[in-house]
Every structure is written in structure tokens, then in C-alpha cells.
Structure 1
Amino acid sequence: MYFPMFLQGVQDISTFHSGFITTPYGVLTAFMGVPVGYIIARSGRFKWMYITGYGILAMSMFGLILLDAHSQIVWSVAVALLAGLGYGVIPTINTVVVQNSVPKRLMGVAMGAVFFFLMMGSAISPAILGSTMNVSYENSLSQSLPEGLSDIVDEKTIESLVGDPQVLLSESALENLKETIREKGGNGEQLFQQTVEAIRHSLEAGLRNIFWVGLIMMIVSFLIICTVPSKFADIEE
């Protein structure tokens, strides 16, 4: 969700190329479950893959933090590959571990609980991460906007034009911003470019804070996974 925004908004990459860069993530996420399931079936061991998966995910989050507006595309592809490799092993292991950790009569309850918390996380995390990004974006933007902009455009208009962090992803919004600055007079083209750079810098700051939150959560998850037993225990029916 936020990685494509980083590619398109911060690195100024087209939607097509953004999709091309993130494709390895989707492919590996879908594919990795097959070899993971085979290895578990053959060996009965899963912990090393669990730890490896979360470790690789943490590495990919750290890689996202290191990216900036001038990073080469190859590094973005590398981050997508790492994320796909790391995340691809986790859903299969989660399912197998839960199913082998409870009696068969409670398996439905256990799996229901797993998917309940997955859905809760999917609903809550965008709100938390989005709020984090918006606060960081607004704080950075207030300090980054060119001084000349406030001289020709009132604060309410500025808020309506650049208050949305996704303004860089919309050609119509950028065109509207450009026309507004041009109509107000002054050095329109230069002021527009300075404003766009300020928005891009602020968006980068907001997204980097999100990536930091993700890295911290990956490290916490990694430490928790390290406490999981190495093999399945014998569960009474």
C-alpha cells in the first residue's frame, strides 16, 4: 500500500513501472507457500523458516528506510524481492503451526481466531499508519513550503491544494496547483517546482516514519517467533 506510494510520489516513477517493481513481491508471496509446505511435510521442522521469514521481512523494512528520492530502481526491486521472500513463507507456516498446536476438536476455533486477528489487524493498522504519515507529512510540509507561496495564496487554499499527501499521485491535482499559482502571479513556474519538491520531501518523511513503525513491529514479531518450539508437540485429541 505505502511502497507504491513511495515509488510514485517520492521517486516520481510512473504507475506502470511502479507495478513492474512490485510484481516480484506478489509472485514470490504466492509461490513460496508451495516449497515451504513441502519442506514442513518432509522434515516436520518449521522454526528455522519462521525465523528466516521474519528476519528477511525485517531486512526489507530496513531497506525501505534507506531508500530516498534518488535511489536507483534496482534497490527498490531488491526490497520487493526480499519482502516477497520473507512474507511468502509466513502464511503457510502460521496455518500449519496453529492446526498442529490444538486438538482437532478445537481446530476450527483456533483457525477462526487466527483469521479474526488478521482481519482486525488489517482494519486497524491502516488507520494507525495513515495517521502517523499524515501527522509527519503536515509537520514537515509546514516547514518546507516556499515562503513565497504564502504571499500569493491564502492558508485555506494551500491546505486544499497540498493538504493531501497523495497530491503527487494525481496529475489533475498537480495541474490544479500549477494553475492556481500561475493565476496568483509571481514567479509561477519556479514557485510551483519548489512547492512540488516540498510536498515530495514531506511525503518521504511521512512514509519513512511508517517504515520505521513496520521495522519495529517486524523486530518484535521476530523476537516472539524465536520462543516458538522447533517441532510440533503431540496434542491429545
Structure 2
Amino acid sequence: MTPPELGTRTKVLVLAGTMLGLLVSAVNQTVVSTALPRIVGELGGVGMFSWIITSFMLTSTAVVPLVGKLSDVYGRKPLFMLGILVFMATSAIAGLSQDILQLIVFRALQGVGAGMLMANAFAIIGDVFPPAERGKYQGLFSAVFGLASVVGPGLGGAITDHLSWRWVFYVNIPFGLLALAVLGWGFPPLSRQPGRPPVDYLGVAAMMLAVVPLLLALVWGGDQYPWLSAPVVGLLCLAAAGLALFLLAESRAADPILPLPLFRDRVFVVANGVTFLTGIAMFGAISFMPLFVQGALGASATNSGLVTMPMMVGLVLASTASGQVVSRLGRYRLLVLTGVAITAAGMFLLSRMDASTTTGTATVNMVVMGVGLGMSMPVLGLVVQNALPYRLLGVASASTQFFRQVGGLMGVAVFGTLMNTNLRAKLGQSMPETVGGRVPGELLAPLQDARVLLQPETLDGLQGRFVAALAEDGIVLFAQALAALREALAESLAPLFFIGFVLSVLGLAMALFLPELPLRRSLEEEPASLRQTGMGPRPAENPSPYPSPAASGEEG
């Protein structure tokens, strides 16, 4: 059966409601980051403030695979709308937090709602458009993240300054209500297959046992604890045990959360492998470029979000263009290869920067990086969706999100450890002997942390302490110490970007093995790649999201 064509008005409403829900989640992440100093100032708990972000990242990543599978069973619309409800409710109670621990718990719950939105947003496109048309709309969703990264920090600063930090959470509610209204009115009820299979509860538990300890180890390793410390090693061992249990459970489940035969499919493995490697590069660039531009180069910015704006603009434009090209030509392999190659070139250009690099050069390098990511990332998601049957659309969309986010967390964790190690060594080499010999250790201690370069008020106060302790020589010695820190930071970050370049090259080598499959022009068409994996449509299965003729009372 050929699914009935949805009207243009219905498609517009579905896309608008989905983008609104996704925008609420994406903007919230950048808005909250801007408000963190004010939050910690009022609630206290400065030693725990990083968990306001970490708890959100952990839960939003961990639930993605589970929600992707559940959406294949129960439908995208109810789970996406539930995600908006969870996100709004937890936003409301997060704004009422009375201490830092309450806020961390509520942010973790908010991450569950965000994960539900992330896991379903790209799959909803698949409910509305077949793969051959889907690429046109991938750029719109990438534009949402680009808009959030630019608008979010400024919005967060304005809300915090003129209202209260609590309103960075309350502001989500009206937009969430609007998204619910649009989806409730415009998103048609797409029936799921009759006879829902039992939920794989053992697989769910094993997945959480594998994913949560792994993410905690990545977040804590090299920051809270050394990588070889008992807590980090213990978490990694627990994650390995969870993975073993998960593989056992999935091999025996009637309807597994993540069907193991998918890993026999070359498209699935290659596309998600490239996504994982480019995720490391993307999150590494987003996380450390503000530190390089504002810290090493000394450029001023109203907020760190504006520093990465050139990269996000390049990403949005390239993802929009690549989506149009894929839909027109029906081919994706050359775009993926070109995009990953440009990403590698961008990382190489970043690795060549030093303290003498101009902000103009850094901007060009970031644009190159963004263009490469924009050409490859959305297309890789489409490639996986095209390779799997419709009944696994949620699994397909969630897998690319999950591997990208885990790659990003791993990249940020490992890069952060390497940067701190490099910085200590380079700072000792860069610091003039006159500074080391005359400046007391307690004055130099704050300069051991490169993040002080992003805090103008802290630097002003530190300069005042130099002058108070060393009189007129304090100004000169402070300038020398600051220049040494900037030089050491630049030399510490360059190797990280080179590692990103190497990983991107590995991604490019892996992408060479990506098969070129024809983009399916209907949801009922069987993916060609799954004929060898046993994951094609089951007997008597209706792969369409719409009611079958028998179910609706129609006759052939």
C-alpha cells in the first residue's frame, strides 16, 4: 500500500511544532550556561556547579536509545509531546530550586525530557517524508541548533540581568505550550503496527548499566579524579559488565532495544562510526575554540557563544545546501566524503594556530570546520534512516544522536585532560624567570587555570593584587605572566586540534567504505542493504505509519 499524501498545511504544522520543541531544548542549554555564575552566587555550592550542566548531559544522552526504540512501538507523537511536558514541568520546578542539590536533581530530570525530544525530532521527519525527500528538511533542524548557539547566551544574559536567573527556566514554558498546541492540532495520529511486542526490560536495565557508568567515567576522568583512579576504573569496569549483559539480553530478546543484526549492516556501522569520530571533532572545537580565541588570542566577546558563531553559521548554511543536493541527486556518498574531508582540513587549520594568529584567521578556520560538519552530519543521519526499515526509524535516528553525543563527551573529557597536562608543562617553559623569581606563589596560583582568561573581572582583581604586592613593578610582571599564560595555552590547545584532525582522517578512511544505496521514495520500500542481515520487514508487517486497508475497512 502507498501511504496517503499529507497536505502541505499538515506538513508545515508538524515541522513547525517539532522545531519549536527542539528549539526550546537547544536554547535552554546555552541560556543556563550563561546564568551559572548568578545561580551559584545565590544558591551556593560552587564546588558542585559543574553538575548543573553535567547532570543534564548524562540523562539526555542515556535515554536516547531507549526513547528511540519506544517511539517505534508507541509512535513519535505521544513520546515527543510527553518529552515537551516533562521538559516544561521540570523547568518550572528547577526555577523554584532552593539549593544547588535540588537544582542538580531537577536538571537531571529536565535532561530526560530533552533526550526524548532529541531522540524523536529527526525521526518525525521520517514519519512525514520518505528518504528521497527528507534531506531538504534536515537543514532546518540544524538551523535550530545554530540559532540556539547564537541567540541563547545573549538571551540568558538579558534574562539574568533584568529579571532573575529563575526565569531562564520559566521562559521555556510558554514556548513549550505553543509547541504542544501546534503538534496536538496539526500532527495526524499515525497508527502503529498491531500487536505491540513486549518491552525488553532486561535490555533497558542492561543498557542503563552500560551507558550511565561510562558517561560518568568520561565526565569525571581527568577532572574530578585521575583516569587510573579507583572510581573511574570501577565505573569503566561496571560499564563493561553492563555491555556484556546487554549483548546477552539483546541476543535473546523477542524485540530488542537495539537489534544486534544491525551491526552486520555496513551502512549502519560505517555511518555511526564516522558520526562518532566527527562528534569528537565537533564537540572538541565547540568546547575549546572560545578558550583559544578569548584566552590565547585575547579577543573580547560579549559571551563565548558568539566566538563559535562563524562555525555555526557555516554549519547551518552547509547543512541546508547539502540537504537540497541529496534530495535532488538522490546520492549521498560524495557529500559525506567531501564533508568529512573538509572537517579534517578545518581541524588541521585549527592545529596550526598559535598566539600570533589573528582573529580573522581563526574565524575563517572555524567557518571551514562548520562547512565540513554541515555537509556530513545531517546526511549521515539520513543514510542510517534510509538503510533501515520503517519499523526501526526511531532506532536509526536515536543511534546517530547517541553515537555523536557519546563521541562528544569522550572528546571533551580526553581533550580537557590533555590540555591541563600540556598547560602545566608549557607554562613552566613560557614563564619568564623574572616573574617566577619575584612574584609570590599565591599570586601565580590563579594563573595555573586557563579559564581565568575568560573572566575579565577576576583578571582585574588579580592585577590589583599584583600592584598591591609589588608596587609599580606589579603591572609589568602581571603583563608578562599573562602573556606567558596565553602563549602556553595556545601551545597546549594546538595538539588537541591535531588529534581532532587525525580522528577526522580516520573518519574519512572509514567513510570510504560507505555503500551508495538508492534513497527510498516510499516508506514501504524495503532497504536494499538489509536483505543480508535478516532485519527486513517481518511477515504480514505493514511498514507504513498509516493504517492498512484492512484496518481501515478499505478494500483493494
Residue 283 of structure 2 is aligned to residue 25 of structure 1: no
Q: CA deviation at 1:168?
A: 1.7
Does 1:6 pair with 2:292? yes
Q: What's the CA shift for 1:86?
A: 0.7
Alignment partner of 1:46 out of 322, 327, 332:
332
The question of 1:93 aligning with 2:379 is answered yes
Q: Is the 8 A contact 2:301 2:307 kept in 1?
A: no
Other-structure match for 1:196: 482
**Displacement of 1:150 after TM fit?**
3.5
Distance, in Å, in 2 between the alignment partners of 1:224 and 1:80 is: 24
Residue 21 and residue 115 in structure 1: after superposition, are their counterparts in 2 closer, same or farther (change >3 A)?
A: closer
Q: Distance in 2 between matches of 1:72 and 1:116?
A: 36
Distance 2:360 2:303 in 1: 12
Residue identity (%): 28
User: How far has the Cα of 1:37 moved from its partner?
Assistant: 2.1
Partners of 1:139 and 1:208 in 2: CA distance? 14
- Counterpart Cα distance in 1 of 2:441 and 2:303: 35
Partner residue of 2:451 out of 155, 159, 166: 166
Structure 1 150/23 Cα, relative in aligned 2: closer, same or farther at 3 Å? closer
Pairs within 5 Å for 1:136-155:
136-155=422-441
Question: Deviation at 1:60?
Answer: 0.9
Task: For residue 387 of structure 2, give the secondary structure of its aligned residue in structure 1.
Answer: coil
Where 1:69 maps in the other structure, the secondary structure is: coil
Higher alpha-carbon deviation: 166-175 or 191-200: 166-175
Partner of 2:405: 119
Residue identity in the other structure for 1:203: L
Contact map agreement 2:319 2:378 (CA 8 A) in 1: yes
Q: Which amino acid aligns with 1:78?
A: V
Equivalent pairs counted in the alignment come to 236
SS in 2 for 1:100: helix
Q: Deviations over 1:127-158 (max 9, x none)?
A: 11111111111111122222233434443542
| Residue 20 to residue 157, structure 1, CA distance change in 2 (3 Å) | closer
Bigger drift between 216-225 and 144-153 goes to 144-153
2:464 pairs with one of 167, 179, 183: 179
What amino acid sits opposite 1:215 in the alignment?
A: F
Q: Do structure 1's residue 103 and structure 2's residue 389 form an aligned pair?
A: yes
Q: Is residue 9–residue 200 contact of structure 1 (8 Å, CA) maintained in 2?
A: yes
Distance of 1:148 and 1:183 partners within structure 2 = 18
| TM-score, structure 2 as length reference | 0.40
What amino acid sits opposite 2:458 in the alignment?
A
CA distance in 2, matches of 1:207, 1:78: 18
Q: Contact (CA 8 Å) 2:354, 2:494: kept in 1 or not?
A: no
Query: CA shift at 1:184, angstroms?
Result: 2.6
Match of 2:349 in 1: 63
Deviation at 1:17, TM superposition (A): 9.8
Find the aligned partners of 2:310 and 2:427 in 1 and give their Cα distance: 33
C-alpha contact 1:44 1:231 (8 A) present in aligned 2: no
Partners of 2:491 and 2:327 in 1: CA distance:
44
User: Match of 2:509, as an amino acid?
Assistant: L
Of stretches 105-114 and 187-196 in structure 1, the one that deviates more from structure 2 is: 105-114
Q: Which has the larger radius of gyration?
A: 2
**30-39 or 191-200: which moved more?**
30-39
Deviation at 1:228, TM superposition (A): 0.5
SS in 1 for 2:388: coil
CA change 1:18–1:124 in 2 (3 A) is closer
Higher RCO structure (Cα 8 Å, ≥6 apart): 1
1:200 shift after superposition: 0.6
Provide closer, same or farther for how the CA distance between residues 17 and 73 of structure 1 changes in structure 2, counting only shifts above 3 A.
Answer: farther
1:73 matched residue in structure 2: 359
The yes-or-no answer on 1:225 pairing with 2:511 is yes
Tell me if structure 2 keeps the 8 A contact 1:99–1:107.
Answer: yes
| Aligned residue type for 2:433 | E
* Secondary structure of the corresponding residue to residue 48 of structure 1: helix
Partner of 2:294: helix, strand, or coil? Answer: helix
- Counterpart contact for 1:4–1:18, Cα < 8 Å: yes
Residue in structure 2 matched with residue 82 of structure 1 by the alignment? 368
RMSD, aligned CA: 2.2
Q: Counterpart of 1:15 in 2: which secondary structure? A: coil
2:52 corresponds in structure 1 to none
Change (3 A) 1:115 1:20: closer
Pairwise CA distance, 1:197: 1.1
- The letter for the 2-side match of 1:143 is Q
Find the aligned partners of 1:220 and 1:124 in 2 and give their Cα distance: 16
In the alignment, structure 1 segments of 5+ residues that lack a partner are none
Tell me the CA shift for residue 18 of structure 1. Answer: 7.5
Asked if 2 retains the 8 angstrom alpha-carbon contact of 1:21 and 1:80, the reply is no
Select the residue among 470, 482, 492 that pairs with 1:206.
492
